[in-house]
Amino acid sequence: MWLVNARDVKHLPGRPKTDKLDAVWLAKLNERGMLRPSFVPPAQIRRLRDYTRLRADLTADRSRHKQRLEKLLEDALIKLGTVATDIFGVSGRAMLEALIAGQRDPTVLAELARGRLRVKHAALVEALTGRFDDHHAELARMLLDQIDALSGQIDQLTSRIEQAIAAIPAAQPPAGGQEDERHQVQEGVQPAGGPVVPDDRATRGGISSRRDRRPTPWCWCHRRLRPRRPSR
């Protein structure tokens, strides 16, 4: 049994419309050697691909919830994002929790800044001056809980991905060296011994787009390896 890409059949002339004639047409194309089977990765790679795809989807969901929270703050005239690079970092999260807890004094909120954000005290006071009320606090609490739940699931999937990679000897990065690191960069794999995450959606037809290279576990890589760490 072959798994065939429907795109290869679609562009061939004489394709009938009914299901029965379509099955006959596919059989004739196969007899004449006009079809080629699609690449099906091993079971370990397929399971690992499911983890990476779900993690990518959950990461996108978390980003949407963060955007909703930023929009909620702008509705309350809180312009924290214009001063802080990441409002979900250590400083931004402390300010959000204080706002939800009932603190409305912008001076007190600005004192929660950490690191290099402390030098922007005046800008923080101005950005935190708004009309944030209990209604905004209730919605912000719901969104933050959703973000935390998704972050926990993403971390759990990341751990499962690392365990699945460790169980595949062929997926381990080779020994150090400039040539190996250059090969990793060319294939889109994180250098410096980073994990290889297979995902055929990042390639053409499940294998490397470079036709002069045979498909190896290095070809099934996922560019979004780890979620970004929150910054202060």
CB-CB neighbours of 100 under 10 Å: 17
Q: Is residue 220 part of a domain?
A: no
Q: Is residue 139 part of a domain?
A: yes
More confident residue, 10 or 60: 60
CB-facing half-sphere around the CA of 108: CA atoms within 13 A: 9
- Residue 73 carries which side chain, given as an amino acid letter? L
Question: Mind listing the pLDDT tens digit for each residue in 91-140?
Answer: 999 999 999 999 999 999 999 999 889 999 999 999 999 999 999 999 99
Output the domain CATH number for residue 168: 1.10.287
| Rounded-to-integer distance, Cα 95 and Cα 207, Å | 46
Yes or no: say if 220 and 198 are a contact pair by the CB < 8 Å rule. yes
Question: Mind listing the pLDDT tens digit for each residue in 189-221?
Answer: 444 444 545 444 444 444 444 444 444 544 444
* Interior angle at CA 45, CA 44 and CA 49, nearest 5: 120
Q: Is residue 106 part of a domain?
A: yes
Which residue do the tokens 């290889």 mark? 196
Q: Is residue 117 part of a domain?
A: yes
CB-facing half-sphere around the CA of 206: CA atoms within 13 A: 12
Q: Is residue 223 part of a domain?
A: no
The encoded tokens of residue 114 equal: 């950490």
The encoded tokens of residue 207 equal: 């294998």
| Mean per-residue pLDDT over the chain, rounded | 78
Find the domain containing 155 and state its range: 44-172
Count the domains in the chain: 1
| Rounded-to-integer distance, Cα 104 and Cα 205, Å | 54
Q: Is residue 127 part of a domain?
A: yes
Q: Is residue 23 part of a domain?
A: no
